[in-house]
Structures are given as C-alpha cells and as structure tokens.
A = this chain, B = another copy of it.
Amino acid sequence: METIERYGGPEQKKQWLQPLLEGKIRSAFVMTEPKVASSDATNIESSIDRDGDAYVINGHKWWTSGIGDPRCKILIFMGKTDAKNPDRYKQQSMILVPRDTPGIKVLRMLTVFGYDDAPHGHGEVLFENVRVPASNMLLGEGRGFEIAQGRLGPGRIHHCMRQIGVAERALELMCKRSQTRVAFGKRLAENDITLERIAQSRIEIDQARLLVLHAASMMDTVGNKAARGELAMVKVVVPRMTLRVLDRAIQAHGAAGVHDEFLVGAYASARSLRLADGPDEVHRNAIAKLEIREMAGATIAGGAASVNPS
C-alpha cells in the first residue's frame, strides 16, 4: 500500500490505492527468489520484458507474503527490465500485476517454524508469461532498486514497533508468572536469577524502544536516506531483542512455555524477521561501512550496496 502511495501515478492510485485504503482489497510484494540470495537485489533473475504496449513477466518467487488471502488483488512484482545494464542498480523495475492475471501459479504455501500464517500466508509463486499493460510500470523502467530502497524505511519501523509491543507483552507475562508460580518453596520472583532476567529484559526493551524512536525521528527530520544507518540498526537490534525476551519468558513458563500460542508464535515471527528484508549480517556490514567512513575518513568498496547504495 505504501509503495503505491509513494511511487504510483494518479491512475494507479485511483485503481488500487483507494480500495486498499478502504480495506476492500489487499496487496502482496513479490521480490524474493528461491534460487538466489535476494538480500542482494542485483541477484534477482526474474524478467520483465517489453512487448508492444505490454510487459511479459517470468520468474520463480517465494516468501510472497499475503498472497494466501482471498482479498489479495494486486501484486507488486520486482524483476529485471535491463539485465545487461552496466549499472547494476538500474537493471530492476517494479510493476503492478493484478492477482487474477493468467500465468500466476501458487506452487505451495510456506510455513515459518511450522506456522502457515493463514489466511495471510507466504507463497511460492511461479510467473509464466504473465502479461500486463505497459502502464502498470511503477515510476519507470530501471527504477526498481530505487523503489525498493524507498519503501524499506517505513516498513522496518512498523515491524520494529510491533516487535516492541510483543516484547512488552512477553515481559508482562513473565512478571505475572514469576509472581504466582512456586517452585522449591518460593515464588520464582524471589529468585535472583528471575529478577536478573526481568531486569535485563526491561533494559533491552527500553534501549530498543529509544533506538526506534530515534530512527523514526531521524526519518522525519533528515529523511530516510540520511537515516539509513539508524534504520539498519533497528533492523538488527529489535528482532534479536524480542527473541531474547521471548526466550526468557518461555523458560519462566516451564513446559507451558513451549506450548503457549502467543510466546511460540511470536518467537517464530521474530526469528523470521532476522532474515526478512535482508539478514542481520548485511545490515551490520552497512552500519560498519558508514562508521568507518565517518571515523577513519575512508570508503570501503563493495559489500552491502544493495541495502544502502548511498
């Protein structure tokens, strides 16, 4: 939805953004491919080829989140329109593909830690000679990478805010359990080890929240590009923090912990966020390169360019 709001033309917005905003339809973002490391967007192999006043789309995608929902009516597809362009950040384009276009085949729905996340769902999807009008192109040919960059910041902040809420809830459950559960003659909360974990969780949640607020403030004041270091930081920090807090909460709940729908489902979800939108490793590289540039006045070639091309 945000991508169309930000990069769509007036006609595109009228046709798709309006019903999205009204909640009548849903969208899905189609980028990741099973055969290549998609955190490096230059690896993408799907093709979007011009043919008269249409584009013909071919590609094998997965982790197309939301495609399982019957309300999903519009896809944003990333592929290459110009695979031989020497500037590897100009090869990609994004294009709108109505869900009911012929040639789109959902091979299977993927599970995350055993969860299918229905009805939303994550699909492995084949695109075979899918034909859409040329006017469905977003922003223009060769600007797919630029759009991918532009949509990441807001998406990450949203994910991170939700994760902090999850961690707060897990800590609350842990505190309540620690107050009521008795083992070896005392409540868990009377053990220093429980207190240490609660304290550490509170500290880590607060530090993560402050970092997210700081990144959000940077986005508002200096823009997404200047805030790209901070956006990479929240991406690395928040899911890992949430996982630690959830793990402590699971442990405090004993056997009930590994069975608790909220704790375990949240764990699966947070774990996948360490990989979605680029693994931690890619973001740490980007942060470090900004740091070295700042601190040592030098630039390191190569690396996480697809995430932070500056």
Interface of A toward B, CB cutoff 8 Å:
32, 34, 36-40, 43, 62-63, 110-115, 171-172, 175-176, 178-179, 181-185, 189-200, 202-203, 206-208, 210-211, 214, 229, 233, 236-237, 250-251, 254-259, 264-265, 267-268, 271-272, 274-276, 279-289, 291-292, 295-296, 298, 300, 302-306
> Can you name 12 A-B residue pairings with CB atoms under 8 Å?
A37-B182, A38-B254, A40-B184, A112-B258, A185-B302, A190-B300, A196-B281, A198-B287, A198-B288, A199-B287, A251-B274, A251-B281
Known contacts A176-B296, A196-B193; A271/B258 CB under 8 A = yes
Known contacts A111-B259, A184-B304; A198/B291 CB under 8 A = yes
User: Chain A: interface secondary structure?
Assistant: helix
Decide: B284 and A195 in contact? CB cutoff 8 A: yes
Nearest 8 pairs between A and B by C-beta?
Answer: A37-B183, A175-B295, A195-B288, A114-B114, A199-B284, A199-B287, A210-B210, A198-B288
Decide: A287 and B257 in contact? CB cutoff 8 A: no
Known interface pairs A184-B306, A185-B302, A189-B300; 18 further A-B residue pairs with C-beta atoms within 8 A, sorted by A's residue number: A34-B256, A37-B183, A113-B267, A114-B265, A176-B295, A193-B196, A195-B284, A196-B284, A196-B285, A198-B292, A202-B287, A202-B291, A206-B211, A207-B208, A251-B274, A251-B275, A258-B271, A258-B275
- A197: chain B residues at CB < 8 Å are 288
Question: When the two chains form the complex, which single residue of B210, B229, B275, B283 contacts A257, counting CB atoms closer than 8 Å?
Answer: B275
- A184: chain B residues at CB < 8 Å are 37, 40, 282, 302-306
Distance in Å: Cβ of A129 to nearest Cβ of chain B: 26
Decide: A199 and B236 in contact? CB cutoff 8 A: yes
Decide: A192 and B255 in contact? CB cutoff 8 A: no
Question: When the two chains form the complex, which single residue of B34, B114, B280 contacts A113, counting CB atoms closer than 8 Å?
Answer: B114
Interface centre among A185, A207, A303 (most CB of B within 10 A): A207
- A40: chain B residues at CB < 8 Å are 183-184
- A233: chain B residues at CB < 8 Å are 202-203, 206
Distance in Å: Cβ of A274 to nearest Cβ of chain B: 7
- A115: chain B residues at CB < 8 Å are 114
Considering the chains assembled together, what is the distance between the CA atoms of A305 and B183 in angstroms?
11
